[in-house]
Chains A and B, each alone.
Chain A
Amino acid sequence: MSFPLLEVRGLYKCYSRSAEPAIQSLDLEVRRGEILGLVGLNGAGKTTTIRVAAGVALPSAGRILVNGHDVVREKTEAGRQAGWVPETPLFEPGARALPLLRYHAGFYGLSGTSGRELCLKLLSEVGLQGQERKRFRTFSQGMKKRFALARALLGDPPLLLLDEVLNGLDPEGVRYVRELVVRHRSEGKGVLLSSHILSEVEQVADRVAIIHHGRGVRILGPEELRSSSARVLKITIENLDDGVLELLASFGTVQREGRVVYIIGARGAPAEVTAELVRRGYRVSEIGSEKRTLESYFFEAVGRPHEDGHPPGESRGAP
């Protein structure tokens, strides 16, 4: 199958006529065997994107296909293809874990003894063994998140939609999620992982989509993400021309931004590179070594905090 597991085309979402749209013309896709990180400031539209993909919010415009099924027109089948873990899972406080999971299992045609065994296995897998009969009012946020994970895994969906899944989880839970998404990828399935913890995204994602003000502003591919772990030389050259790019290509992957050249995965010491440039007649005003991170890409894409008049943390869209 060549089509992606999640295909978002021209997504537009407005919660009310008077409000600014939460999502404006967003395009992204999650391929098979891929973890797509979704990062953005608060209110950028991450949660709304995931809620629309999960079928709990309706798109105002655009098309969202989950494993080829339209989330609006083929809601039932699309719902079977994706497991959703919301940022703040809410469950009926008086309900007990196992009966509720069995109820949800009924959606997937899983009932009887086999359904019960599957539910017990999932609860155990997410670390809720021994909590099966407890009511949700006694659950911590982390336990609710674990339950939401178990619920998302019902029916073994090919796509996982994880919204800030690491929030509220203890270190053991974080490790479990990390292993889960990697295992999911290795099985040829897909994950859309939204998180504020960029280092976690960076660690597991194959690609990262940066959204800002409801628009997709950049998608970082594998090369860029790989570069985040490589050494980067930043050189400012007064009389920069195209020849210098050819010259520096022998030291690593070259990127130019104005009078600044980045050598990603630089081979050789800064002094060696400077000597070669000076020998060819280039005037080097500054040279330094730095490590590029997802955070640096992120802020390059969305601007530094307060630069655009929208302070980080401003909420604009999703409820």
Chain B
Amino acid sequence: MTRLPFPLRGFLYELRRGLLNPALFAITVLLVVISMGIVTTFHVASGRNYESCEEVAWYVDGAYHFVVHVHDQHALPIAGVLTNISLSTAAGSPGSPPIYFEGHTAPNGSSQLVARLPVADYVYSFFAIDPNASSSGWGEGCLFSGGNTTAIATGPPGSVHSLAWGTWTLVGLDSSIPSPQLLLFFLGPNGTSPTGDQAFWAGAFNASGRAMGGPNPFPPLPESAMHRLGTFRGDAQVFSFAVPNATWTGCYSCTSDKVVQLEIFSPTGQILLEDTNLSASDFAPVPTGLLVNQADSLTFSFMSEYVGLIAPFMAIVAAYALYARDRISGVLETTQCGPISREGLALSRWAAVLVTLAVSLVVSLAVISVEIHSVLGVYLPASVLLATLGAVLVEVGAFSGLVMLLSRFSRSHVVVLGTAFGLFLGFEVGWTFLDNFLISYVQALPGGSWVSAQSVANQFELLNPLGTLFLLSRIYVNPPLLGVTQGEIGLAGFLWVMAPLVLFVLHARMRD
């Protein structure tokens, strides 16, 4: 017969039981869903703090067509924005009353205004103002004046001209950090949708002496000589766009100004647009260190706020489902009578709980990591992932050990679960009150300061099993003010895992 040592065979069974436990499975799914929400924290963290507009126009069948697309810094369209175009008679004819056209942006962020006027030399201006802008605290909207319609009607009928700044926008996740994302707003002839059109880019050096926005010195490149950005699926399309240094080739008069040459091709390969008006500095590879630090900070913060709250709850449920319930109901005895030591059985069940939850947390961290990569273009360093996982496992290990230990002393489901959740609330909520009291007290002492109070509060946090993640997250914020070292945090976490476990195993070995 095949012989497997019990600890492995039994442990695998316990693990399988844990992974298939409906309650744990549900919580794991919940955890993963919540983890997916880390992206929303990026947006929420920065908030909608500015409005940007892209404008295009064309003339066809006796009418000027203006389209304004309004979006925020996340490239998200802003609906309901008041758009206004005013046209005055030909420049140099003062006193002509302007003609106004008004509309509102649709849910896709665009508003089309049609001015049925004969071709003439008009001066135009427009603005787009979100009525909620002032109340939500971000900018006043877009405003442009002094444009001239001459160019609009001089090209081939229906050809689309970009107005004002152009038809591209660099979109940042946060107003303070660059982003490897590019929003292209583009319409085909007569305002047709660019769906199916292809966007390409290439890096180049600016011509010597040429100012940004000056005449284009670069001939159009074929698709084969460029890098593909992607395909348009609508008027406004966001592309991932991080320009690596190594791709910068070609030298035209070789200045140090790097520019990005952008071209849009129809599905048949016909070039529709060429633009070299893009400064490479906007697209330069984002400072990786900055982003990683921000991602680290975001990850720790997110884990601390959400996962850190759910993990102890998961540990309580898992330890109850895999050990405490069996112990209380007496089911455990039919296992205990077999050829296994009492401490061996206790340890294998505890380990099964820990590994089950570790699997859930690894899945959760993987989701977070993939999301961060898809948004920021960087992977979280292994040290950050391991530190985060370790900190959450401290919570999990401590609470699963506590629940198992409690079940050794009480044969009541209500008492065990009630005490466990009570401890969780105490460490989570009650601790905050104690912490605040401590900070106030230390600050009020002679010579007390905010810094000394923070140090004491952080040292106090070492006594809390939920404090490991919190303290690790603060290391990334301001290590000198922490008042505790990484070693101390690690030791406290280790003790929080080991103390309940050792007591539990000893009790399992020495008591009924």
Contacts and interface: CB of A to CB of B under 8 A. Distances in A.
Contacts of B338: 79-80, 104, 107-108, 154
B341 to A, nearest CB: 5
B409 interface: no
A55 B336 contact: yes
Contact of B333 (A58, A75, A86, A115): A86
B337 A84 contact: yes
A110 interface: yes
Interface string A44-81: 00000001001111100000000000000001110110
Nearest to A57: B512
Interface string A89-108: 11110000001000110111
Nearest to B8: A106
Contacts of B344: 76
A130 interface: no
B336 A76 contact: no
A89 B341 contact: no
A114 B334 contact: no
Interface residues of A, number: 37
B510 to A, nearest CB: 7
A155 interface: yes
A111 B337 contact: no
Given A15-B512, A76-B341, A56 B336 contact: yes
Nearest to B3: A109
Interface residues of B, number: 27
B47 interface: no
Interface in B320-334: 326, 329-331, 333-334
Contact of A109 (B6, B331, B334, B512): B6
B442 to A, nearest CB: 45
A15 B342 CA distance: 18
Nearest to A15: B512
Contacts of A154: 338
A106 B2 contact: no
Contact of A58 (B10, B335, B337, B510): B510
A151 interface: yes
Given A58-B511, A90-B331, A79 B6 contact: no
11 contacts: A15-B512, A58-B512, A79-B337, A84-B337, A103-B9, A104-B335, A106-B4, A107-B338, A110-B3, A112-B4, A155-B339
Interface of B: 1-6, 9-10, 13, 326, 329-331, 333-342, 344, 510-512
Interface of A: 15, 51, 54-58, 75-77, 79-80, 82, 84, 86, 89-92, 99, 103-104, 106-115, 118, 148, 151, 154-155
